A and B are shown apart, each in its own frame.
Chain A
Amino acid sequence: MNSHRILDHPVLGKLTIEKEIPFTFDGKKYTGYEGDTIASALLAQGIRTLRVHEESGSPRGIYCNIGHCFECRVTVDGTPGIRACLTELNPDMIIESGKQQFSPFKSTENQDDLPRTYAEFEKQLKGEKEDEPDV
């Protein structure tokens, strides 16, 4: 499904569909077309959130689309910091979005609110209520 693609552009004309290129984003399989950048292939699938801010977790996507701002950076085949807007899609790329990180040095009102284990951190990320600590 590539429903967000412009197939007939008033200036650029009709899209001639080239080779299909399969890739994986966050564990899900998608297809783009030859000549796509990672960002354009994902945008065509309706995926606009390429990562979240490392500290706050607010969503980030294409911002400048010319390789200037690094807002669109993703991890490609294990290499972090790859700009989705400049990198051409290759067959079977494994692409991972940027995730929220720990912020251990942030001052907090109440230290009991801090996660003590990774499991608790993940629970807080999902917005679930904290229950008994995992043993």
Chain B
Amino acid sequence: MDRIVICRCEEVDLEEIEQTLINYQCSMREIKLRTRAGMGYCGGRTCRPALNAILEKVSGEKQPHQIPLKVQPPVRPVSLGRIGETNYE
């Protein structure tokens, strides 16, 4: 049990996120771009609270840094084919 996976979609573990946070002193958005945590198939809906909690713990501030992880549509994964289809029933 020494490897705690935080983002299951992209398989990013706690240690990698903490290390990246310590090394770059960055926002959660930057963590997402560096490690791909929260960038996977589920749209980051599963690990976002955990990611924010990790940032809070490492930086020691409530609502640390300026750039949060944003939430944007679609709320669940949709294939491009579905969006483009004109006569989809």
Binds A, one of B25-33, B39-47, B53-61: B39-47
Question: With A and B bound together, what is the CA distance between A73 and B9 in angstroms?
Answer: 11
Number of interface residues of A (CB under 8 A): 13
Most buried by B among A53, A55, A64: A53
Task: Verify if B11 is at the interface (C-beta below 8 Å from A).
Answer: yes
Task: Verify if A56 is at the interface (C-beta below 8 Å from B).
Answer: yes
Question: With A and B bound together, what is the CA distance between A3 and B53 in angstroms?
Answer: 41
Instruction: Provide the residues of chain A in CB contact with B76, threshold 8 Å.
Output: 70
Q: How large is the interface on B (under 10, 10 to 19, 20 to 34, 35 or more residues)?
A: 10 to 19
Q: How far, in Å, is B1 (CB) from chain A's closest CB? A: 15
Chain A, residues 51-92, CB within 8 Å of chain B (1/0): the string is: 001011010100110001111010000000100000000000
Instruction: Provide the residues of chain B in CB contact with A53, threshold 8 Å.
Output: 11
Q: Is B11 touching A58 in the complex (CB atoms < 8 A)? A: yes
B:11-34 near A, CB below 8 Å: 11
Q: Is A73 touching B41 in the complex (CB atoms < 8 A)? A: yes
Q: Is A69 touching B11 in the complex (CB atoms < 8 A)? A: no
Instruction: Provide the residues of chain A in CB contact with B42, threshold 8 Å.
Output: 68-71
Q: Is A56 touching B11 in the complex (CB atoms < 8 A)? A: yes
Instruction: Provide the residues of chain B in CB contact with A64, threshold 8 Å.
Output: 46
On whether A69 and B79 interact (CB within 8 A), knowing A55-B11, A58-B11, A60-B8, the answer reads no
* Closest 8 A/B residue pairs (Cβ): A69-B46, A70-B42, A70-B41, A69-B42, A56-B11, A53-B11, A71-B8, A81-B77
Besides A60-B8, A69-B8, A81-B77, 12 more A-B contacts (Cβ < 8 Å) are A53-B11, A55-B11, A56-B11, A58-B11, A68-B42, A68-B45, A69-B46, A70-B41, A70-B42, A73-B41, A81-B41, A81-B79
Name A residues whose Cβ lies closer than 8 Å to a Cβ of B.
53, 55-56, 58, 60, 63-64, 68-71, 73, 81
